């Protein structure tokens, strides 16, 4: 069991998941979680705290509840960074401004010894619209934390229109979002102009 107080002197490492609903972000993030990463998920936290969309709370309340949960998870992320932990952020990161903010947050917060900053990896799961539609049709038959509400064709079109695709942001693009379990094990990260390999640490 790890302490609630930051005691490690190892730099934090953060994986930012990026992609449209149905691209496979949660599946990828869960693989990292099984390797020892802390996984932060807005959808799962909303489900845990407030229950089912349109049943335990009004559908119109979803955006407000989601924003409140995201703010709390940002605080949690800061604490994990200060502890030098490995974190995977299971958000959509559909806006560049949010990606940039998180990358800046990761690089600027230092570990307890004040000698090292965090590093980040931006993983963009790129899936074509036809495949997304197929996956979401299957997902719409479920009701769980990661299938909170049905995503219609019209809503998917809106997501596709509004999505700000990463370009030139240091992103790692994975087509069809079907990485092997080994893919995230030894991520290459760039910090301070140098590249090196980082091995995931198991939680103590």
Q: The domain spanning residue 124 has which CATH number?
A: 3.40.50.300
Q: Spell out the per-residue pLDDT of the chain, length 204, in tens.
A: 333 333 344 678 999 999 999 999 999 999 999 999 999 999 999 999 999 999 999 999 999 999 999 999 999 999 998 898 999 999 999 999 999 999 988 887 655 555 556 899 999 999 999 999 999 999 999 988 998 889 999 999 999 999 999 999 999 999 975 544 434 443 434 333 333 333 333 332
CA atoms within 13 A on the CB side of 92: 15
Strand order in the sheet with 38-40: 38-40, 86-89, 13-18, 119-126, 171-175
> What pLDDT score was predicted for residue 77?
93
Does residue 155 sit in helix, strand or coil? Answer: helix
> What pLDDT score was predicted for residue 114?
55
Going by the DSSP 8-state scheme, the letter that residue 6 receives in this structure is: -
> What pLDDT score was predicted for residue 108?
78
Q: How many domains does the chain have?
A: 1
Q: Which domain holds residue 187?
A: 13-197
Domain membership flag for residue 22? yes
> What pLDDT score was predicted for residue 80?
92
Q: To which residue do tokens 């089912």 refer?
A: 52
d(CA 177, CA 21): 12
Does residue 152 sit in helix, strand or coil? Answer: coil
Domain membership flag for residue 7? no
Domain membership flag for residue 186? yes
Domain membership flag for residue 2? no
> What pLDDT score was predicted for residue 67?
95
d(CA 50, CA 63): 12
């Amino acid at each position: 069991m790890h302490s609630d107080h930051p005691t490690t002197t190892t730099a934090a490492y953060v994986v930012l998941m990026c992609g449209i609903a149905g691209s496979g972000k949660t599946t990828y993030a869960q693989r990292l979680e099984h390797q020892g990463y802390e996984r932060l998920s807005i959808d799962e936290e909303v489900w845990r705290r407030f229950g089912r969309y349109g049943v335990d709370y009004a559908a119109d309340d979803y955006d407000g509840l989601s924003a409140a949960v995201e703010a709390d998870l940002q605080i949690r992320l800061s604490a994990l960074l200060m502890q030098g932990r490995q974190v995977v952020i299971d958000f959509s990161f559909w806006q560049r401004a949010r990606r940039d903010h998180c990358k800046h947050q990761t690089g600027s917060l230092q570990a307890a010894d004040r000698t090292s900053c965090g590093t980040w990896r931006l993983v963009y799961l790129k899936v074509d619209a036809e495949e997304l539609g197929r996956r979401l049709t299957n997902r719409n038959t479920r009701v769980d934390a990661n299938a909170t509400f049905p995503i219609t064709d019209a809503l998917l079109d809106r997501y596709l229109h509004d999505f700000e695709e990463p370009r030139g942001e240091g992103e790692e693009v994975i087509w069809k979002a079907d990485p092997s379990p080994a893919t995230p094990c030894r991520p290459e990260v760039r910090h301070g102009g140098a590249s090196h390999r980082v091995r995931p640490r198991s939680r103590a």
